[in-house]
Amino acid sequence: MNWTFFHKLGSPKWFYEISGKWLPWLAILAALMMATGLTWGLLFTPPDYLQGNSYRIIFLHVPTAFLASAIYVSMAIAGAVTLIWRIKLADMALKCMAPIGTSFCFLALLTGAIWGKPTWGTWWVWDARLTSMLILLFLYFGVIALRGAIRSATTQARACAILTLVGVVNIPIIKFSVQWWNTLHQGSTLKLTEKPSMAPEMLWPLLISIAAFYLFFTVVLIIRLRTEILDRERRTKWVRNAVEAGARS
């Protein structure tokens, strides 16, 4: 296999250049899809026959919940790359993904809680999904706090990589045990998101929102990464030149 591409991908400078070209297009696409998915879901779909209009929260809740888990897994992959190939860019990605993942995890929890009020009549239910989401939030806090507690950038990178790897091994165990615990304690209640079959007029806007949120994540990740690259590579000539060029243009 030709590793040149891989190495190129790992070069902060190359990434900075290429992402600068892609960013506007990705941003536009994300904005368009987000607007489409959410407006469609909010205004144009019929209400759910059981939950009424409150189910419209799904178009926010499901994408953010998906993303919250997916981002943690991506962080673990970035962590593995950091440990194995020591690619700086992977650690930067790990660092930049953490706050985004945390914010989505937080949003998923909040939307879940608000959704619970009309559905279950209470703001918080120790439902298996919400509980695992809460623990995922702790996992995110841990990664961010650990990075904050360590001074050396190299140590930060490798320590956080280990922590996310441990966390990602732990996630399925947590999900499984919380599910087990949940079935023991409160039988099967009305599930928030698992529908036997979703009507296509509800499914389409949901799929579009999910894709839109993934795109949005990519866009804000790139923005954060570009800043992080400038910060960490500030001693290089190309960063100084890029910053000056940005100032003039």
Partner 1 sequence: MLEVAQLRCERDDRVLFSELSMKLSSGELLQIEGANGSGKTTLLRILAGLSGDFHGNIFWKEKKLSSMYADFRLSTFYFGHKPAVKGELTPVENIRWRASLRNEAPSEHSILDALEQVNLAGFEDVACGHLSAGQHRRVALADLSISASPLWILDEPFTAIDVYGVAWLESVLAKHVASGGMVIITSHQSLSEISGSVRKVKLDDFAGGSLEEDYDDEMDSGAFL
Partner 2 sequence: MSTAHNKVLQAKDVRQLEGRKAMMALIRRDLRLAFRTPGQSLNPVAFYLMVASLFPLGIAPERETLSQLAGGIVWIGALLAVLLSLDSLFKGDNDDGSLDQLLLSPHPLPLLVLGKIIAHWLTTGVALIVMAPILALMLHLPEQAFPALMASLLLGTPLMSLAGGIGAALTVRVQRGGVLLTLLSLPLYIPVLIFGTGAVQSAVDGMGYSGHLLWLGAFLVMGLCLAPIAIAASLRIVVDG
Partner 3 sequence: MYFENFASLVDMGGHGIYVWPTYALGLLVILYNIVSPMMARKKIVTQIRRQAKAANNRKKPASSDTGRKVNSHEQFSANGQQQASTTESSRTVNEGE
Sites of contact with partner 1 (CB under 8 A): 4, 7-8, 10-14, 82, 85-89, 91, 152, 154, 157-158, 233, 235-238
Compare residues 1 and 44 and give the one whose CB is closer to partner 3.
Answer: 44
Cα separation, 233 vs 190, in Å, equals: 51
The answer to whether 84 contacts partner 2 (rule: CB under 8 A) is no
Compare residues 81 and 100 and give the one whose CB is closer to partner 3.
Answer: 100
What's the sign of the alpha-carbon dihedral 155, 148, 69, 224? negative
The answer to whether 138 contacts partner 2 (rule: CB under 8 A) is yes
| Minimum gap (Å) between residue 74 Cβ and partner 2 | 18
| Minimum gap (Å) between residue 167 Cβ and partner 3 | 22
> Who's near 173: CB < 8 A, 6+ residues apart?
none
Query: Cβ atoms within 10 A of the Cβ of 96, count?
Result: 22
- Kindly report the CA angle at 41 between 37 and 44, in degrees rounded to 5? 115
The residues of the shown chain that bind partner 3, judged by CB under 8 A, are 13, 17, 20, 34, 38, 42-47, 52-54, 56-57, 60-61, 64, 99-100, 103-104, 106-107, 110-111, 114-115, 117-118, 216, 220, 223-224, 226-227, 230-231, 234, 236-249
Measured N-to-C along each axis, helices 12-39 and 88-120 cross at an angle, to the nearest 10 degrees, of 20
The answer to whether 126 contacts partner 2 (rule: CB under 8 A) is no
The answer to whether 149 contacts partner 2 (rule: CB under 8 A) is yes
Asked if residue 68 lies in contact with residue 133, where contact means CB atoms within 8 angstroms, the answer is yes
Q: Report phi then psi at 234, rounded to 5.
A: -65, -20
